[in-house]
Amino acid sequence: MEIDSFVNPVAIIYALLVAGLMVYTLRRRKDMRGEQGWFLLAAAAATLGAINLIFPIDLTSAGGITPGLSQGLDMIVLIFAFGTMTIEDARGSNSRVRPYWWSFGTLCIFLLVITSLFIQPIMIGNPNWAIHSLGSGSPSGWVLVGGLFGMGIFLVIMGYYAYRVAILPEIANRALFWMLNAVIVLLGAVISISGIPTLRLVGLFTLLVGLVATLYGLLSYRVFDIRSAFRLAVRNVLLTLLTTAVIYAALFLASTIRIPATAETGVALALLALGVAMAYVVLRHGVEWAIASLSSRPNSDLTRAARQFSQRVAGVTELEGLVTAIQESLHQILGAEKAGLLLITDTANRERLEIRAMRHGALADIKIPQGTLARNSPIYQHFAFKQAPLTLFDLQYAPVYRTASAYEHGFLNQLGMSAFAPVLLENSLIGILVCAAKSNRSPFYPRDLDLLATLANQTGVALRNARLVDDLRHLNSSMVKLNHELEGANRQMEKLDSVKTDFVTIASHELRTPLAQIRGYTDILSALNDQGMLDPDQARSMMSSVLKASERMEELIAAMLDVSQIDVDAMNLHFEPTSAESIIKVAADPLTEALKQRKISLSARGLRELPLMEADEQRLVQAFRNILVNAIKSTPDGGAH
């Protein structure tokens, strides 16, 4: 009866505490990631469960809910809401697991109501009710027990799977946290409806611990490290057992060895204590060494590690060599699987910086080697002003970085790195040291990030020198390339000059013919006119010849002008769709009379099958006409082309 008298006050206190958690949740709902509704449902179910212990809901007279059904529904709903929060946090809101969880939880609630109302009421509250229900084959008891344990096993398996597939160790740690908390909540739910007053008190306390831990997990994106806590617990247990064994051995030896009560008794006991203490110190160091070896703890001597890294990068003058030194040092000091370097460069847009990944080592196979970082981005603000490292887990889960652009998040995510440390020189961000996950899959602790920041600071001067050397080599390479291009341009200019000289020579020779014709006909016209023998038909024929000669001169002068325009790259071309057939036809039409006079045949085949082309039709007609004219001149009468 004494225990029974404590149940109601404890249940009242428990209900008030859970109600306080609900009020606190409503006040902090903006800091949560959207699961506050499910937490409120779980807390409400836990509160109703406590109230049912004090004032059982009994509607059996009206054929309704029994106290056992009410308490069973409270626990099922509590586990269902908790499980939904766990799945959404560990697997994401788009998880394919969630529909199966909802289907299973809804089925358990439906079967519990149906079996309890229409087959056999469940007798929760009586001592050993679960054993009696299962032994007697009660459908409602089987549904409740099976549903609770089935949901618990479901959550544990899901949490373990999320732990195994987690990319980041911090995400794996959250999966372990929810898996452990699922066991606590399930255990509290089962014990609180056990029917034994003492166990009910333990169950309520366990449930309260689980709800507090759940709220902590929803409000804190970075929960305490489960594996470190486990290692610490194992260490303390082993040391406690070792200490107990040593003390027991000392007491056992002191009780079995009969030392006579003489003047040497104190000396003998002191020697015995000294031997036991020495054995304890040796054993303790051995245990701590074994624990440290199993946990693969990295070197945490910050001063020595920084000195070694500084000495290693001091003589590096190439970017690739610097990246290699960084990668090897971080693997040795922090146990990182791989590392790399991002270069920060100013752009024409002063509001943004360019990020370029060194395509060497860990970053050799990334898809997008370049990106940008806005100066007003919270990521840049953290690096440039706080001058502190940042983890990928912080970027993905910390609320302060949600305002950063999706492009910046995507660029940093595709690197596959877990930690980032700014490389600063004279308070200017010139690079970012990136580090992958540790080989032992443990997260980056504050001491690790402090060490990473120290190494990044040591990298600043070496990075500046390496970039200067790289820029100098790039400049030399560009100058060599420009020299080659200049030599090629000079050779091209020599060729153009030679072609122009040849053309001017040929054109000069060609100009003499029409000039001679014009001068000859002019002299004849003048002589005939002086002698009064100028006939109108003769004058007309001679004027026609002069006109043809002048037209030929005009064509030659136009060709010379075209050559001069090509020389200075000033020719205006007008491109439009045209065909080879039309170009050849237009070029050959004015030459028909000349072909007939010299009995030369001209034919063209396969032009219609050629596709349309984008070209300046006038210039092409001019070029082909010149070719045809030259061909006619060099072809004997009666020939063919």
Mean pLDDT, the chain, rounded, equals 78
- 190 inside domain: yes
One domain for residues 139 and 271? no
Instruction: Choose between 573 and 412: higher pLDDT.
Output: 412
Residues spanned by the domain of 191 = 2-224
CATH of the domain at 51: 1.20.1070.10
One domain for residues 235 and 348? no
| Residues whose CB is less than 8 angstroms from the CB of residue 175 and which lie 6 or more positions away in sequence, other chains included | 90, 159, 160, 162, 163, 166
- What's the confidence (pLDDT) of residue 568? 45
CATH of the domain at 638: 3.30.565.10
One domain for residues 63 and 22? yes
CATH of the domain at 359: 3.30.450.40
**Lowest mean per-residue pLDDT among 213-222, 291-300, 457-466, 523-532:** 291-300
> What's the length of the chain?
641
Domain count, the chain: 4
- 284 inside domain: yes
Q: Write the pLDDT tens digit of every residue in 103-142.
A: 888 898 888 888 877 777 666 666 666 666 666 667 877 8
One domain for residues 133 and 177? yes
- 25 inside domain: yes
- What's the confidence (pLDDT) of residue 464? 80
Q: Which of 267, 295, 323 is the last residue of a domain?
A: 295
- 491 inside domain: no
Q: Which of 224, 247, 265 is the last residue of a domain?
A: 224
- 458 inside domain: yes
Instruction: Choose between 485 and 263: higher pLDDT.
Output: 485
> Positive or negative, the Cα torsion across 588, 592, 593, 595?
positive
In one letter, which amino acid is 85? M
One domain for residues 8 and 125? yes
Q: Write the pLDDT tens digit of every residue in 227-254.
A: 888 888 888 888 888 888 888 877 777 6
One domain for residues 372 and 253? no
One domain for residues 210 and 156? yes
Tell me how far apart the alpha carbons of residues 423 and 432 are, in angstroms, rounded to a whole number: 5
- What's the confidence (pLDDT) of residue 60? 46
Contact 113, 74 (CB under 8 A): no
- Indicate the pTM of the whole model: 0.64
Q: Write the pLDDT tens digit of every residue in 538-592.
A: 676 777 777 776 766 766 676 666 655 555 455 567 788 888 888 888 877 877 7
- What's the confidence (pLDDT) of residue 2? 47
One domain for residues 209 and 235? no
- What's the confidence (pLDDT) of residue 132? 66
Contact 43, 25 (CB under 8 A): yes
One domain for residues 348 and 413? yes
Instruction: Choose between 13 and 128: higher pLDDT.
Output: 13
Residue 310 has pLDDT above 50, yes or no: yes
Q: Which of 269, 295, 321 is the last residue of a domain?
A: 295
One domain for residues 215 and 236? no
- 247 inside domain: yes
Q: Pick the most confident of 109-118, 209-218, 238-247, 614-623.
A: 209-218
**451: number of Cβ within 10 Å:** 25
- 632 inside domain: yes
One domain for residues 361 and 262? no
Residue 299 has pLDDT above 50, yes or no: no
Instruction: Choose between 136 and 456: higher pLDDT.
Output: 456
One domain for residues 261 and 362? no
- What's the confidence (pLDDT) of residue 263? 56
Q: Pick the most confident of 98-112, 317-331, 534-548.
A: 98-112
**544: number of Cβ within 10 Å:** 11
Strand order in 352-357's β-sheet? 370-374, 352-357, 339-346, 428-435, 419-425, 390-391
- 548 inside domain: no
**Lowest mean per-residue pLDDT among 7-16, 394-403, 509-518, 609-618:** 509-518
